[in-house]
Amino acid sequence: MESAALDGDPKARGVPIRPSNYNVIIDLPDGRALAYNAYSNALAVLDPEDYDALRSVSNDSSSHDGTGPSLGQLQHGGFLVPSSMDERACLEQEYWERRNDPSRLSLTVAPTMACNFGCDYCFQGHDKPAGRMGPGVRDAIVALVRRSTHRLRSVGICWYGGEPRLALREIEQLSDELLTVCREARVPYDGSIVTSGYLLSGAVARSLVERGVVTAQVSIDGNAAAHDQRRCLLGGGGTFERLLRNMVDVAANSALRVSIRVNVDGRNAGSIVELLECLGREGLGRHGRTSIYFAPVEAITQGCHAVVGHCLTKQDFASLEVELGGIARRLGLAGRPYPGRFRGICGAVRPESLVVLPDGQLHKCWDTVSMPEHSIGNITALEQAMASDRAASWAAWNPFDHPSCRACVLLPTCAGSCAHKFLNPDQVRGEAAELPCPSWKFNLHSRLLGHALAKGLLSEADAQAAQATALPRFASVSAAGVV
């Protein structure tokens, strides 16, 4: 009955109802409201009658049985739910089902931890080992995939480092073996690579695509002056111009999709518009294979504690992200993201996800790869690694156990976001340690208004008027309903 009520089944009406705990309400002119429900992911403009109906239930849920046109539509969108429904319990059940899905194996593979860049905010620090992955570790990875294919719907490999491009031969050899295993088992395979981009030419991109790599992440941190100050070669020297030429080469001469990441702090925030304009002039927004996104620089390990004074506040970054995202969309470099269910379930807490270092050491999280004490074991002894206490701590972590997450209206979207910040708080400095929340929490107002405007649900005047008001009102996670 409860799930039917969320689907708007008329048979489910006639039961006591209340507002969902996961409503977000933004007041609009003329008595209307933009309503978003983080559980159902519904977005709707409520006319005055609908808005009054929602508020009437909020004020007195005991007198409403879910009948009436407005109430029926609000139930259909999940804005009203049966009073007996324990939304948090239902959400937690769905969360664990999604998190523990055994059908996809995701491996982050670092063929080397060496790097040719000397970025001052690198969470791995600058003292990186130079060794490469040997045949024994590669064989163990292939063996893991081979014995898992009978239960898998897909295999995903992310090439990581250091700078994985320094070990291109190892990537090509291991990719060929993994592709053979997956083809024989008829299991879909997809690959990605996180690279500085300095050694990523069009020819290299074509070689990667032939081996199942479909996307690359490349960091460019602002205009030439800002980028070269922080993302220089290990021995000194700028990298911006070569990166720009490489991005143009890759776009023109390969099918590789490139996601440009801009790491933002107080030092380069003012230079990013110039970067966007530069990428636009180079035509990178025309073909649909180059996109851009923005990420805050955070002091999340001892290796990058020195940059904590340059980090933006959560709110400052969130506001800048909205502004830059609008420019990127106009240049064809970004879409309009929309909140989705459990966006924050990262690989670190999934049982079928591992990070494999060149010597076979296993980690659950990218952020800990420079800390041997955080290894859960070795891939050559996988069973013991997965039974280790450290692996158990990642498996046991649950955002529903944390009061700040349990009481948050965005829990269906965020899902706790970064488990590392909860499990290893001694490694994190600054506001990221005190408030481990994603930027969505701080710019949801603007994102929802922009999405509604793009979908034709609102006029420009509506959006501007609502943008000038206070932040949206979140539903209280209590029986009181919307507050």
What is the model's pTM?
0.90
Vertex 96: Cα angle to 91 and 98 (nearest 5): 95
Per-residue tokens: 350: 């999934």
Per-residue tokens: 13: 């009406």
**Residue 138 CB neighbour total at 10 angstroms:** 21
**Residue 235 CB neighbour total at 10 angstroms:** 7
Q: What are the DSSP calls for 138-196, one per residue?
A: HHHHHHHHHHHGGG-SEEEEEE-SS-GGGGHHHHHHHHHHHHHHHHHHT--EEEEEEE-
What pLDDT is attached to residue 176? 98
Q: Are 297 and 265 in contact (CB under 8 A)?
A: yes
Residue listed under structure tokens 């805050």: 296
The DSSP H or E segment spanning 330 is helix 314-330
Query: Could you tell me the fold of the domain covering 93-438?
Result: TIM Barrel (3.20.20)
Per-residue tokens: 32: 């209307």
What pLDDT is attached to residue 6? 33
Report phi then psi at 289, rounded to 5. -105, -5
- From residue 352, give the alpha-carbon distance in Å to each of 44, 266, 398: 37, 37, 17
Per-residue tokens: 223: 């205009």
Report phi then psi at 159, rounded to 5. -85, 130
Q: Are 305 and 299 in contact (CB under 8 A)?
A: yes
Residue listed under structure tokens 């801009």: 262
Q: Are 444 and 450 in contact (CB under 8 A)?
A: no
Burial (0-12, 13-18, 19+ Cβ within 10 Å), 368: buried
3-state helix, strand, coil in the chain (%, to 5): 45, 15, 35
454-459: long-range contacts, CB 8 A cutoff, minimum separation 24: 454/336, 455/43, 457/34, 457/43, 457/44, 457/45, 458/28, 458/34, 458/45
3-state class (DSSP) for residue 42:
strand
Q: Are 333 and 319 in contact (CB under 8 A)?
A: no
Per-residue pLDDT of the chain (483 residues; tens, 9 = 90+): 223 333 334 334 568 899 999 999 999 999 999 999 999 999 999 999 999 999 999 766 554 555 556 788 999 999 999 999 999 999 999 999 999 999 999 999 999 999 999 998 887 766 778 899 999 999 999 999 999 999 999 999 999 999 999 999 999 999 999 999 999 999 999 999 999 999 999 999 999 999 999 999 999 999 999 999 999 999 899 999 999 999 999 999 999 999 999 999 999 999 999 999 999 999 999 999 999 999 999 988 888 888 999 999 999 999 999 999 999 999 999 998 888 888 778 899 999 999 999 999 999 999 999 999 999 999 999 999 999 999 999 999 999 999 989 999 999 999 998 999 999 988 989 888 778 899 999 999 999 999 999 999 999 999 999 987 645 554 433 222 232
**Domain ranges (residues) in the chain:** 2-85+440-474, 93-438
